[in-house]
Amino acid sequence: MSQKWVYMFKEGDPKNKNLLGGKGANLADMTQLGLPIPQGFIVTTEACTGYYDNGKKLTEEMEGQIRASLAELEALSGKKFGDNENPLLVSVRSGARVSMPGMMDTVLNLGLTDAAVEGLAKKTDNPRFAYDSYRRFIQMFSDVVMEIPKPRFEKIIDELKEEKGVKLDTDLTADDLKEMIVRYKALYKQEKGEEFPQDPELQLMESIKAVFRSWMNPRAIVYRRMHDYPASWGTAVNVQMMVFGNMGDTSGTGVAFTRNPSTGENKIYGEYLINAQGEDVVAGIRTPNPISQLAEDMPEVYAEFERIYTKLENHYCDMQDMEFTVEDKKLYFLQTRNGKRTAAAALKIAVDLVAEGKLTEEQAVLRVDPKQLDQLLHPMFDPKALKAAKVIGSALPASPGAAAGKVYFTAEDAKNAAAAGERVILVRLETSPEDIEGMAAAKGILTVRGGMTSHAAVVARGMGTCCVSGCGEVKINEEAKTFELAGTVYKEGDYISLDGSTGNIYGEDVATIEPEITGDFETLMVWADKVRTLKVRTNADTPKDAANAVRFGAEGIGLCRTEHMFFEEDRIMKVRKMIVAKEEAERRAALLELLPFQKQDFVGIYEAMESRPVTIRLLDPPLHEFLPHSDEDIAELAKAMGISFEELKATVESLHEFNPMMGHRGCRLAVSYPEIAEMQARAIIEAAIQVKKEKGFAIVPEIMIPLVGEKKELQFVKDIVVKTADAAIKEAGIELEYHVGTMIEIPRAALTADAIAEDAEFFSFGTNDLTQMTFGFSRDDAGKFLEDYYSKEIYEVDPFARLDQTGVGQLIQIAAEKGRKTRPDIKLGICGEHGGDPSSIEFCHKVGLNYVSCSPFRVPIARLAAAQSAIKNK
């Protein structure tokens, strides 16, 4: 059966981004709006998947449709593809559903050959332009399609410039460029063992296939994983008639945003270069002019530009990121898309568009990417420390935020240092897509070259990483791994700080402070809270974390781990005594010493949470985590306990487990040693009574029993808890409501949830353990082999970061249903890492959980994600 694989811009459905890709759909849209767009056609994303299904070949049907569309384009343009007098030249551009900046490569000026270039030179009466276009084409085709490394060509340019004694590419003459072409072609032949292809149709088909192949290149795979995009989407290819910004001083090319992508300010923002083509602006080869200059250079062109960008913004009701080219004073638009922006800009634009009457509040809530809020929830410079710090340099404020850390000079070093726990500042001449992982690992990025729309700037803004770009004063010595600025040499590992909002660079580690939710941020969060139905709690173990989370809007604590406090200096000895105790009486004595500490912990947390619900989990980790391991520690403890070193060492060894994650932990501890649960229940209840009495807060503790897999074990531990709690309440002579529930983190618990719900008043899905137990691999070890699973396309994402809805999600669904069957009003929540992940939150919304719980810094992200889930699933 035949299928339509290719659409002309004028016939494609602008709404169908899935089929046409984002770039293609918008080119179709702009064409149909009557804007000046060089015409062309789109080879669909289905053709991309078809290409892979067909053993990485275009089918005859696809090739036939491409030829037919090319003929149509010839008719539209009045030029002929492969003609030696008036050749039609095209660009071949990739375009997935969502933009993946810099991930895939574009070939420009395709259709040029040794003969056609002469025709072009004659026809335009501009040989310099013709040869420049041809040499660019050879370079791009060789790089993108034939994989001959780009630096080989750049070396030829540099050599030629040196021979000719010129500094800029634009200073090279037509004859120089002709010579460059000779050298390029020689390089091509040397690399490929054949002449540079002179058949335009072959050039085209090869380029289209190369774009399809690039969908699977390692950079694209990493980028997709970072953004949760599946490989099955595929990319479309756009074949578009060329327009030329490199025809002389009445031509140029540029990029612009309808609003400021850094701050959101409602003012056109852009850069352009005279006599340049394509990527020259973003590649940072020459320093571009601000867009305001265009109004002076070519006022009529600027007026037209203004008319079109206003129309585009109103059409899409969002800030646009556009590419344009001026060919001999005639303006063309080459691309528009909703622009990437910083979180602060995203909030301002969304709130402004509501004020401008262009969006409703709910539409505005959908406009901000929850994950992006992360940028605003991280530290900023402490104004006092900042004032005291000395500015050693300043460049473009390319992506806001504050970053302080140690300098590293390669993406690889940055990645490794960050993995080792360092705060990293990546310092580069300029960044390229290969640097993506190092950029993601860095707190801040400093580049020597490149403008506000350079690769570093665009990618950093997308990631929310602080970036200062284009600092020409920095002298990098890449080999020695040093750089010099303001007379000082900074070595690898030295501290610097970057202010991405001002562009300032500091030669020291400047202190940072906690962020706050105010202004547009607050406005949008209020709108979000109006529509969401999921509650948002936090995972917090200390009063400080709890107070932070409340500031960010947490409505309770979903998980308070009771063991973290055991590691503190004044307690660890007591905890160890408790663990190595041989008899119950001895253990009870140690627990009695711990009780006041534990009670005090809970008092602090209740006070921070005021009357909000607090879920406290009983002791969970394997006991060996608390044991003394070094001989020194053992000796010290033995002395404190009045036993011999040997005896204690033997006890410690006897507690060794082969697989502690699946060993003596969770409620199993309370089954063996009920007195531990007893002490904890007492601390939880007595603290609640104290705070209720002293502060008048209506505390309703929720006591959570971890790692349950069997109703009877829950029953056993619950009995101890209830008995202890009731006795404490009776003794205090006060009313206190409390609840006992369980974690669902063992598959068996999920499958028997109906029985378990008879004893549990609430379930909290511990999806870290549930994922680990369902997949059967340890979250501590999975990192080592998951990389192989990504590269072999077995898994696309880390199941510990994003809930596996198919498998683990099914267990959640089963448990929720079964639990509700037994106990219709059972309270359901999630407290694993996934509680702060937007796509997992949407799943929780759909399953009908009551709340998600996440780390304090993710609370606003979860609030927004919950609101979006409610709007999307209305």
Q: Is 242 in the site for ligand ADP (CB under 6 A)?
A: yes
Tell me whether residue 73 or residue 557 sits nearer to ligand ADP (CB atom): 73
| Contact letters for Mg ion, residues 74-113 (x by CB under 5 A) | --------------------------------x-------
Return d(Cα 42, Cα 28) in angstroms, integer.
9
Q: Kindly provide the b/e burial profile for residues 819-841, where b requires at least 16 CB atoms within 10 angstroms of the residue's own CB.
A: bbeebeebbbbbbbbbbbbbbbb
Question: Cα–chain-centroid distance for residue 464?
Answer: 8
- Asked if residue 708 lies in contact with residue 743, where contact means CB atoms within 8 angstroms, the answer is yes
Single out the segment in contact with ligand ADP by CB under 6 A; choices: 239-247, 560-568, 662-670, 677-685. Answer: 239-247
Give the nearest distance from C-beta 203 to ligand ADP in angstroms: 15
| Partner from Mg ion, ligand ADP, none binding residue 325, C-beta < 5-8 Å depending on class | ligand ADP
Tell me whether residue 38 or residue 464 sits nearer to ligand ADP (CB atom): 38
| Contact letters for ligand ADP, residues 69-98 (x by CB under 6 A) | ----------------------x-x-----
Give the nearest distance from C-beta 323 to Mg ion in angstroms: 5
The amino acid sitting at 197 is P
Return d(Cα 862, Cα 856) in angstroms, integer.
10
Return d(Cα 861, Cα 838) in angstroms, integer.
7
Q: Is 110 in the site for ligand ADP (CB under 6 A)?
A: no
| Partner from ligand ADP, Mg ion, none binding residue 278, C-beta < 5-8 Å depending on class | ligand ADP
Single out the segment in contact with ligand ADP by CB under 6 A; choices: 216-224, 238-246, 465-473, 825-833. Answer: 238-246
Residues 307-336 that bind ligand ADP (CB under 6 A): 323, 325, 334-335
Give the nearest distance from C-beta 88 to ligand ADP in angstroms: 11
DSSP state of 141: I
Instruction: Indicate if the alpha-carbon torsion angle 421, 425, 426, 427 is positive or negative.
Output: negative
| Partner from Mg ion, ligand ADP, none binding residue 410, C-beta < 5-8 Å depending on class | none
Give the nearest distance from C-beta 106 to Mg ion in angstroms: 5
Which residues have C-beta within 8 Å of that of residue 129, sequence separation ≥ 6?
120, 121, 244, 246, 247, 248
Q: Is 464 in the site for ligand ADP (CB under 6 A)?
A: no
Residues 318-337 that bind Mg ion (CB under 5 A): 335
Give the nearest distance from C-beta 448 to ligand ADP in angstroms: 22
Return d(Cα 580, Cα 578) in angstroms, integer.
6
Could you tell me where the DSSP H helices lie in 612-746?
631-641, 645-654, 667-672, 674-695, 711-732
Strands 614-617 and 557-561, sheet pairing:
parallel
- Asked if residue 186 lies in contact with residue 142, where contact means CB atoms within 8 angstroms, the answer is no
Question: DSSP assignment of 440-485, as one string?
Answer: HH-SEEEESS--TTSHHHHHHHHHT-EEEE--TT-EEETTTTEEEE
Q: Is 148 in the site for ligand ADP (CB under 6 A)?
A: no
> How far lies 332's CA from each of 117, 236, 500, in Å?
23, 22, 33
Q: Is 38 in the site for ligand ADP (CB under 6 A)?
A: yes
Single out the segment in contact with ligand ADP by CB under 6 A; choices: 221-229, 237-245, 427-435, 517-525. Answer: 237-245
| Partner from Mg ion, ligand ADP, none binding residue 89, C-beta < 5-8 Å depending on class | none
831 is catalytic: yes
Give the nearest distance from C-beta 107 to Mg ion in angstroms: 10
How many angstroms separate the first and last alpha carbons of the chain? 39
831, 834, 844, 854: which is the annotated catalytic residue? 831
Strands 396-399 and 269-274, sheet pairing:
unpaired
315 is catalytic: no
DSSP state of 848: T
Q: Is 279 in the site for ligand ADP (CB under 6 A)?
A: yes
Give the nearest distance from C-beta 18 to ligand ADP in angstroms: 18
Give the nearest distance from C-beta 221 to ligand ADP in angstroms: 17
Strand partners, 332: 325
Contacts with ligand ADP: how many residues (CB under 6 A)? 16
Q: Is 27 in the site for ligand ADP (CB under 6 A)?
A: no
Single out the segment in contact with ligand ADP by CB under 6 A; choices: 138-146, 241-249, 820-828, 861-869. Answer: 241-249
Return d(Cα 229, Cα 220) in angstroms, integer.
10
Strands 402-408 and 424-428, sheet pairing:
parallel
Which residues in this chain contact Mg ion in the complex, by CB under 5 A? Answer: 106, 335
Catalytic site residues?
455, 831
Which residues in this chain contact ligand ADP in the complex, by CB under 6 A? Answer: 38, 91, 93, 102, 106, 108, 240-243, 278-279, 323, 325, 334-335
